[in-house]
Amino acid sequence: MPFDNQKLFELAHGYAAGSFHDRGQVLTTFFMQSPAGDLVIIEAPFENDRHRGIVLNALRNSFREAGIPRYAVVSEAWIASADDGRPPVAPKDSEDRQEGVLVIAADHSGHVAGRCLIERPWDGSHPTLGPLETWNCGSGALTNLLHDSSPAEA
């Protein structure tokens, strides 16, 4: 069954919401549409930035070799605002970062992106996932896996 970016985005978001509800976390998961239209799902959590680069390079090469036309990814990430006039820094280094879940679906013509903020109560009770917000994440490592190279940050 072929997907468009929006349909794959919605499927990936549904998976992330269900995973977060059940486990209180979302492991980085990729949803690939094969050239025949079949859906392949792979959980590929990253241990650190180096491991992230290795996994993303392997996926980029595999996507190219298999002729993958479209994919989606969900991943927990630090999210920070870049609209406050301060010099830009990586979200993981920002003082006002927030924890969230990214949802991105991409093909060769572009991508659709969204994010949900995570609320982790101080009392240790079950965390909650906020509503999905459309997000212009620009280009980055998670949006460019169908291209030969990509920036280091998503």
DSSP string, 51-119: HHHHHHHHHHHHHHHHT--EEEEEEEEEE----SSSPP--GGG-TT-EEEEEEEEEETTEEEEEEEEEE
Q: Is the pLDDT of residue 140 over 90?
A: no
Mean pLDDT taken over the chain: 85
pLDDT tens digit sequence for 51-69:
999 999 999 999 999 999 9
> Worst-scoring range by mean pLDDT, 53-57, 96-100, 119-123, 132-136?
96-100
**Residues sharing a CB contact under 8 Å with residue 104, sequence separation 6 or more, in sequence order:** 9, 12, 72, 73, 74, 111, 112, 113, 114, 137, 142, 143, 154
Structure tokens at 65: 């070799």
Q: What is the mean pLDDT of residues 123-143?
A: 84
Between 51 and 81, name the one with better pLDDT: 51
* pLDDT score of 118: 94
Q: Is the pLDDT of residue 136 over 80?
A: no
* pLDDT score of 144: 84
Q: Is the pLDDT of residue 30 over 60?
A: yes
Q: What is the mean pLDDT of residues 3-7?
A: 91
Model confidence at 88, pLDDT cuts 50, 70, 90, reads low
Q: What is the mean pLDDT of residues 28-36?
A: 94
Distance CA 37, CA 103 (A): 20
* pLDDT score of 33: 93
Q: What is the mean pLDDT of residues 87-106?
A: 75
139, HSE (Cβ side, Cα atoms, 13 Å):
11
